[in-house]
């Protein structure tokens, strides 16, 4: 899955759960501005940040490493 699709899935899940950006940022321990930048495609979150967001939203990220060609 591409990075932008991961962000979109996280945002959709947040909206389905009715959680504001401010509340999610508090629960995940990241800044509200940081979350806003991530959701608008202007931020560059670390894997750790994505994992925190997914955990709070009850989601799981599956990382796959492709073999070189």
List, for residues 1-58, the tens digit of each pLDDT value.
Answer: 578 899 999 999 999 999 999 999 999 999 999 999 999 999 999 999 999 999 999 9
Please give the pLDDT value at position 2: 79
Contact 59, 13 (CB under 8 A): yes
Contact 52, 30 (CB under 8 A): yes
CATH of 3-56, one of 1.20.140.10, 1.10.260.40, 3.10.28.10, 1.10.10.10: 1.10.260.40
- Residue 2's alpha-carbon distances to 8, 16, 62, in angstroms, are 10, 21, 12
List, for residues 42-59, the tens digit of each pLDDT value.
Answer: 999 999 999 999 999 999
Listed by start position, the domains of the chain span 3-56
Please give the pLDDT value at position 1: 57
């Amino acid at each position: 899955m591409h990075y932008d699709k991961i962000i979109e899935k996280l945002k959709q899940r947040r909206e389905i759960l009715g959680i504001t950006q401010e509340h999610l940022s508090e629960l995940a321990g990241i800044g509200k501005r940081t979350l806003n930048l991530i959701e608008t495609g202007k931020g560059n979150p670390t894997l750790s940040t994505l994992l925190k967001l997914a955990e709070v939203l009850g989601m799981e990220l599956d990382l796959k490493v492709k073999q070189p060609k």
